[in-house]
Structure 1
């Protein structure tokens, strides 16, 4: 961006419109215009009432570029938040601030004019710099506004974070979150009749509804994973979960001990804390020697435990 950019992204009724280039080769769609009308009343900050079909087409192009890179939607939120501040999500094709161009107002040092006005290229360049500045996925735990600033190097770093919630709203509308609601995970857990005479018996070889009736099969059923379900060690990998702190557990998250043989490994589904001090919690589990259970446990809360907390990537 051009250091010193201050008003390109701020809608102003009295200002003359800035010249822009198309963001998508297919132009503005009827869906873009309809979404803009829907979002205008839901946005809270400076884009409220100013979103139109063209700006949505630009946001759509940015989001598509993030998805093409295989990055998660958090990366799209960072990119869209930046575009809100820099240009009001427009592909500005005249150098009105130094030599900055495009949806991110990238300077000439970023690339040629043609490259910076290509939203897919510009977004890729933005993401490349973000990944360089935040190695090993560290950007995912950083504050959105801080990431925007570290990539853009603006004179006005305080402007990004206030727009992050609107960035999230725009991205969520263009890239609906897949997966299973937490309440549905619990509802599915209850279908195996935990802690009743009708509970599903435990077995590592038998199936119920196509899922193995062991711990990992039960969890796979609640998350809607492919039948018969991955084994416990697979559930503890990035393909299905990411590690979290025990104190961050929410309903539907998992607590897993992936160590040892197939009779030693365990996985439970966190339901709720059993006491105010969080010394134990209610969990759903397909328990060896019993079957489907719902009981109070302390897995992961005691010294020397091999249990760790995980958040399913499919949960929302």
Structure 2
């Protein structure tokens, strides 16, 4: 399975010929997400993601979702793609007769099939399900599942990439729809503006979520634990920009600029006055903890706060 493509970061960046990964091509959101993830990944792909590779990962994740399988299956597939090709749809037989994002041999299918990322992903999943009947793959080690499907000469290379595979999938896998009232109900569970409020922390967790601003907001939206950071919340993976005048309960106001101590995100609750000069918001606030207070974020001249609508809120 594409052994010459494994190994060093230099191999990840090698200028091999590739085919598009999906009908939509590379979107602006793909490119933006690549920039964000490059600073978060820790292993082989760190610094090497671009819009094209994200478009390939997005197509793989969509194929898993189309099969009705859980996100853990996407983690196995993306982890495999990281090792095999650096998440590229390679369309030249570099290693024997291997092709595609998973470097599948000719025995898997025709060249056209193997270069169809959705088809290749489905074929990968078919084999995974055959090797692990009755959902047993879900309790197995990710790297072991990858190896059982791929039968690689280098089985030890998969598991070290699993955490980055999880991070990529978390950024691309939308959460289930959440009613706006439920977002607010969840916000209240951290006891905002009371003596029982959750203390702010960028290193500790509460209920599996980071006890910082983005962790708190991720909890209110029901996103995967421990929650994406603020810069990721502001990407097309989770939100779309809207005007401040369009804010509804459960929408977000985000300042994604600067270091981790400067970035902020709040959950919009309601306007505080008829002229809409301020509003009530829920926030996990540095130096205080969970709060519910009146703010003007995004309403003043020169502000870096912008309004965003979560993709999964209904």
Q: Judge which range, 77-86 or 185-194, deviates more.
A: 185-194
CA contact 1:11–1:46 (8 Å) conserved in 2: yes
Does the alignment pair 1:218 with 2:216? yes
Deviations 1:17-39 (A, max 9, x none): 10000001221111100000000
1:294 is displaced (CA, Å) by 25
CA contact 1:60–1:174 (8 Å) conserved in 2: yes
1:289 is displaced (CA, Å) by 43
CA contact 1:9–1:88 (8 Å) conserved in 2: no
Q: Judge which range, 151-160 or 197-206, deviates more.
A: 197-206
CA contact 1:45–1:162 (8 Å) conserved in 2: yes
Q: Separation in 2 of the partners of 1:51 and 1:279?
A: 41
Q: TM-score, normalised by structure 2?
A: 0.57
CA contact 2:174–2:238 (8 Å) conserved in 1: no
Structure 1 residues 157 and 299, CA, compared in 2 at 3 Å: closer, same or farther? Answer: farther
Secondary structure of the corresponding residue to residue 11 of structure 2 = coil
CA RMSD of aligned residues (A): 16.6
1:163 maps to 161
1:124 is displaced (CA, Å) by 0.2
Structure 1 residues 210 and 26, CA, compared in 2 at 3 Å: closer, same or farther? Answer: closer
1:202 is displaced (CA, Å) by 36
Deviations 1:166-219 (A, max 9, x none): 000000000134488999999769989999999999999999999999999999
Correspondences of 1:133-152 after superposition (within 5 Å): 133-152=131-150
CA contact 1:10–1:85 (8 Å) conserved in 2: no
Deviations 1:107-131 (A, max 9, x none): 0000000000000000000000000
1:12 is displaced (CA, Å) by 1.1
Secondary structure of the corresponding residue to residue 100 of structure 2 = coil
Structure 1 residues 103 and 298, CA, compared in 2 at 3 Å: closer, same or farther? Answer: closer
Question: Where does the alignment leave 5 or more consecutive residues of structure 2 unmatched?
Answer: none
Q: Separation in 2 of the partners of 1:210 and 1:155?
A: 37
1:272 is displaced (CA, Å) by 33
Structure 1 residues 67 and 275, CA, compared in 2 at 3 Å: closer, same or farther? Answer: same
Structure 1 residues 6 and 281, CA, compared in 2 at 3 Å: closer, same or farther? Answer: farther
1:14 is displaced (CA, Å) by 10
Deviations 1:62-110 (A, max 9, x none): 0000000000000000000000000000000000000000000000000
Structure 1 residues 235 and 136, CA, compared in 2 at 3 Å: closer, same or farther? Answer: farther
Q: Separation in 1 of the partners of 2:234 and 2:56?
A: 37
CA contact 1:257–1:308 (8 Å) conserved in 2: yes
1:13 is displaced (CA, Å) by 7.4
Number of aligned positions between the proteins:
314
CA contact 1:101–1:113 (8 Å) conserved in 2: yes
2:187 maps to 189
Q: Judge which range, 163-172 or 236-245, deviates more.
A: 236-245
Q: Judge which range, 28-37 or 289-298, deviates more.
A: 289-298
CA contact 1:101–1:107 (8 Å) conserved in 2: yes
Q: Separation in 1 of the partners of 2:207 and 2:6?
A: 57
Q: TM-score, normalised by structure 1?
A: 0.57
1:61 is displaced (CA, Å) by 0.4
Question: Where does the alignment leave 5 or more consecutive residues of structure 1 unmatched?
Answer: none
Structure 1 residues 279 and 119, CA, compared in 2 at 3 Å: closer, same or farther? Answer: same
